[in-house]
Chain A
Amino acid sequence: MGGLYVNRTRLILVALVVVLACALPFVLSSYRVFQFNMVLVYAIVLLGLNMLTGFNGQISLGHGAFYAIGAYVAAVLMDHWGVPYWVTVPVAGVICFIAGFLFGLPALRLHGHYLALATFALGISMPQILKYKGLEEWTGGVQGIVILKPEAPFGLNISQDQWLYLFTLIIALVMFWLAWNLLRGRIGRAMVAIRDHPIAAEAMGIDVAAVKTLTFGVSALYAGVGGALGAIVVQFVAPDSFVALVSITFLIGIVIGGLASISGVIYGALFIQFVPNIADEISKAAPWAVYGLFLLAFIFLAPAGIAGFVRALWARLTTGSTRKKRAAQTQET
């Protein structure tokens, strides 16, 4: 976490990635643009989850639930009230923030595996709640809701896919910027301090309960924004889109990408978006087995996540000094 110095190389790198990301929809086919659009969506969700789990140390196996809430908020708003798609995104964020905060309150009492279970339970229950008769009028029950795809505004001469991608990209950049600010400042330090030693953190004057619940809220907010964007991109929400497996996939994303790493969520998002397809191409008989092997391979080759791997590589390339290397091990990019 320490030494988040914004040096020039890093700035250039970030700028390069952003430029590349902006250029993407103009060089790739619509279908690929759609895939990368989902990568951005996942990256936002993973960023929130990593904030909670990686930085703050609260394990969530149920973030799919907030992703679902975000998606449904967007879908219901658009479907029932004709709310413009871009309005639904912040609304979904706010609603999920509240939901996350409220869930975070009882979660304060639970630690480790017990918290993991509680969040997992949330993930498992969500499809059932979405199917529930009493909510059917809004949620469309098991049928789900079909959403219309937005056109590019201001008479821009670009396709819907390109526009949606850019729209998502802008939001993603904002979300990354916010997370970056948050994590490198006073609150970010407090989050990590709580993860490393909650008792000492409290003795240092950190309101552990408040930081934890708010982190839960913010993390749910990210999931909700991601959910809303995901719903708009996929143009469809249904309970079956938000099964417990989704939450597990998000967890895989942050671990493979790199716990407590901001850049890691991008790697993680790429992994969860593309590796299942690769697995499918390798075997129709047992694609899951292939997927599992990929997981194991990544964990073994990059135990600190892809971000950690890249960092170590970078450290080896740039300096031979042991000090820096050591510092890099726990620093984050």
Chain B
Amino acid sequence: MEAFLHQVFSGLANGAIYASLALALVMIYQSTHHINFAQGELAMFSTYLAWAMINAGLPYWAAFGLTVVASFFIGLIIERAIVRRVADAPVLTVVVVFIALLVILNSVTGWIFTYTIKVFPSPFPEEPLFGPYISSHEAGVVGVSIFVLVTLFLFFRFTPLGLAMRATAENAVSSRLAGIRTGWMLALGWGIAAAIGAIAGMMVAPIVYLDPNMMSGILLYAIAAALMGGIDSPLGAVIGGLTVGVLENIMGAYVVGTELKLTVALVVIIGVLIFKPTGLFGRSFVTRV
């Protein structure tokens, strides 16, 4: 029983990691209707920036803040310089651009910072929170995810900017006819997503260590989480993330063993999607003729 609980808590902790990146995916989806495969690498790159700043002697929170801001601008610039050019292209073309970004970021980071793992500090205290079950940092990640979730939710639901972004993602032409500066909305979406990604990266790195491939595995889980929760729902991303985390642990520890746990977890997720094709919390939209 103790081990079981332990698995559940550890799953929740992992799930919070997935959720934090999944939130960035939801953000970019809401504002561009794309799933950004480079989101993980972008987050990883941001985390290296933070690491470099901390190494250069900056205090944690200063580095944190600067990184979030810098990442925002990096996202903005990537959108304006690269993604913008394929705005009217078919989805798959955009996907290839994302893949290009992914490999470039991964490779360049490895080149600059080498592939050895780096320790990234946690802003939370060392002592565990609930006995050995969950460390303060892990609890902190959960907290940060929930904070980002609530912020995003409020942002999209209640601010005009959030509405403008959703409108732009859905119908850029009509949005422009409503006077929305769609170019900036897309860039802003990228910026915010990159900033959220940076937070995710800085939350994840203390747990998995910082290395250029830090996010590639996590991205997969984050995508699964975001889709299971519903790609347009911040709440879905978090619940999806936590579910995937726990599901995977339970599968691995008690049901199918570690060798097939990912496979089985994915099968379960797809099963859920077949049952509910827009994810657990995703809104289903009707297309009528």
A112: chain B residues within 8 A (beta carbon): 91
A124 interface hit (Cβ, 8 Å)? yes
B289 at the interface (CB under 8 A from A): yes
Interface flags, B90-105, vs A, CB<8A=1, else 0 = 1111011101111110
B261, closest chain A residue (CB):
A128
Which B residue sits closest to A255, measured CB to CB? B96
Let me know if A287 and B107 touch, CB within 8 A.
Answer: yes
- Per the bound structure, the CA–CA distance linking A312 and B91 in Å amounts to 21
Q: Decide yes or no whether A208 CB sits under 8 A from chain B.
A: no
B99 near A248 (CB under 8 angstroms)?
yes
B260 contacts A295, C-beta separation under 8 Å: no
Q: How many Å lie between the Cα of A110 and that of B270 in the bound state?
A: 9
Contacts A106-B274, A300-B85, A303-B93 given; does A292 touch B220 at CB 8 Å: no
> What is the interface residue range for chain A against chain B?
35 or more
Q: Which of B64-72, B179-187, B223-231 is the interface stretch?
A: B223-231
Chain B contacts with A in 209-231, Cβ cutoff 8 A: 220, 223-224, 227, 231
- The segment from A10-18, A84-92, A129-137, A178-186 that touches chain B is A129-137
The residue in chain A whose Cβ has the minimal distance to the Cβ of B88 is A303
Q: Is the interface of B mostly helix, strand, loop or mixed?
A: helix
| A187 close to chain B: CB less than 8 A | no
Given contacts A128-B260, A255-B93, A292-B107, contact A199 B227 (CB under 8 A): no
Chain A residues with CB under 8 A of B82? 296
Give min CB distance, B64 to chain A, whole Å: 27
Asked if A289 lies at the interface with its beta carbon under 8 angstroms from chain B, I say yes
**Contact yes or no, A286 B107, CB < 8 A:** yes
A113 contacts B108, C-beta separation under 8 Å:
no
Query: What does DSSP make chain A's interface, helix, strand, loop or mixed?
Result: helix
Interface residue ranges of B118-156 to A (CB < 8 Å): none
CB-contact partner of A295 in B100, B110, B227, B267, under 8 A: B100
Bound together, the chains give a CA A128 to CA B252 distance in angstroms of 13
Question: What is the CB-to-nearest-CB distance from B170 to chain A, in angstroms, rounded to a whole number?
Answer: 14
Q: Which A residues from 63 to 118 make CB contacts under 8 A with B? A: 106, 109-114, 116-118
Q: Residue B106 at the A interface, CB < 8 A?
A: yes
> How far is the CB of B45 from the nearest CB of chain A, in Å?
12
Verify B86–A117 contact, CB threshold 8 A: no
Closest-CB distance, A286 to chain B (whole angstroms): 4
Residues on A with C-beta less than 8 A from B106 are: 288
Contact A293/B104 with A121-B269, A124-B266, A252-B99 known, Cβ cut-off 8 Å: yes
Across the interface, do A121 and B92 meet the contact criterion of CB distance under 8 Å?
Answer: no
In the complex, whether A221 has a CB less than 8 A from a CB of chain B is no
Contact A125 B266 (CB under 8 A): yes
Residue of A nearest to B271 (CB): A106
Residues from chain A with a CB closer than 8 A to the CB of B93 are 255, 259, 299, 303
Residue on B nearest A288 in the bound complex, by CB: B107
Interface status of B89 (Cβ within 8 A of chain A): yes
Give B151 Cβ to nearest chain A Cβ, in Å: 24
Chain B residues lying within 8 Å of A238, measured Cβ to Cβ, are none
* A117 and B224 in contact, given A128-B260, A255-B93, A295-B99 (Cβ under 8 angstroms): yes
Does A256 have its Cβ within 8 Å of any Cβ on chain B? yes
- Measured CB to CB, the nearest residue on chain A to B38 is A292
Decide if A117 touches B96 in the complex (CB within 8 Å): no
CB of A300 to closest CB in B, whole Å: 6
Q: Please report the C-alpha to C-alpha distance between residue A300 and residue B224 in the assembled complex, in whole angstroms.
A: 30
Residues of B within 8 A of A128 (CB): 259-260, 262-263
Structural contact, A110 and B107, CB atoms closer than 8 A: no
Contact indicator B111/A289 (Cβ below 8 Å)? yes
A291 to B95, CA, bound (A): 15
Minimum C-beta distance from B209 to chain A (A) = 21
Known A289-B108, A295-B99; contact A59-B91, beta-carbon cutoff 8 A = yes
Say whether, besides A106-B270, A109-B273, A299-B100, A132 and B92 are in contact (CB < 8 Å). Answer: no
A286: which of B95, B99, B111, B266 is its contact (CB, 8 Å)?
A: B111
A296 to B103, CA, bound (A): 11
| Binary per-residue interface labels of chain A (243-279) against chain B in the complex, 1 for a CB within 8 Å, 0 otherwise | 0000010011011100100000000000000000000
Q: Are B103 and A121 in touch, CB under 8 angstroms?
A: no
Asked whether any CB of chain A lies closer than 8 Å to the CB of B277, the reply is yes
| B287 adjacent to chain A (CB < 8 Å) | yes
Considering the chains assembled together, what is the distance between the CA atoms of A259 and B94 in angstroms? Answer: 13
The reply to whether A110 and B223 form a contact with Cβ atoms under 8 Å apart is no
Contact B95 A255, beta carbon cutoff 8 Å: yes
Which A residue sits closest to B85, measured CB to CB? A300
User: Does any Cβ of A come within 8 Å of B169's Cβ?
Assistant: no
User: Among the listed B97, B262, B273, B287, which residue makes an inter-chain contact with A299, where contact means beta carbons less than 8 Å apart?
Assistant: B97
Least Cβ–Cβ distance between A126 and chain B, in angstroms: 9
Interchain CA distance A288-B259 in the complex, whole Å? 29
Q: CB-CB < 8 A to B269: which residues of A?
A: 117, 121
Could you tell me the distance between the alpha carbons of A299 and B85 in the complex, rounded to whole angstroms?
Answer: 9
Show 23 residue pairs from A and B whose CB-CB distance is below 8 angstroms, ordered by the A residue. Answer: A106-B270, A106-B274, A109-B274, A113-B35, A113-B227, A117-B224, A117-B269, A121-B224, A121-B269, A125-B266, A125-B267, A128-B262, A251-B99, A256-B96, A259-B92, A288-B107, A289-B108, A289-B111, A292-B103, A293-B104, A296-B97, A303-B86, A303-B89
Given A295-B99, A299-B96, list of 20 further CB < 8 A pairs? Answer: A59-B91, A106-B274, A110-B273, A111-B277, A113-B227, A118-B270, A120-B220, A120-B223, A124-B266, A128-B259, A129-B263, A248-B99, A251-B95, A255-B92, A286-B110, A289-B103, A289-B107, A289-B108, A289-B111, A292-B99
Please list the 10 inter-chain residue pairs (A to B) with the smallest Cβ-Cβ separation, ordered nearest first.
A288-B107, A292-B104, A295-B100, A121-B266, A289-B107, A125-B263, A286-B107, A286-B111, A292-B103, A292-B100
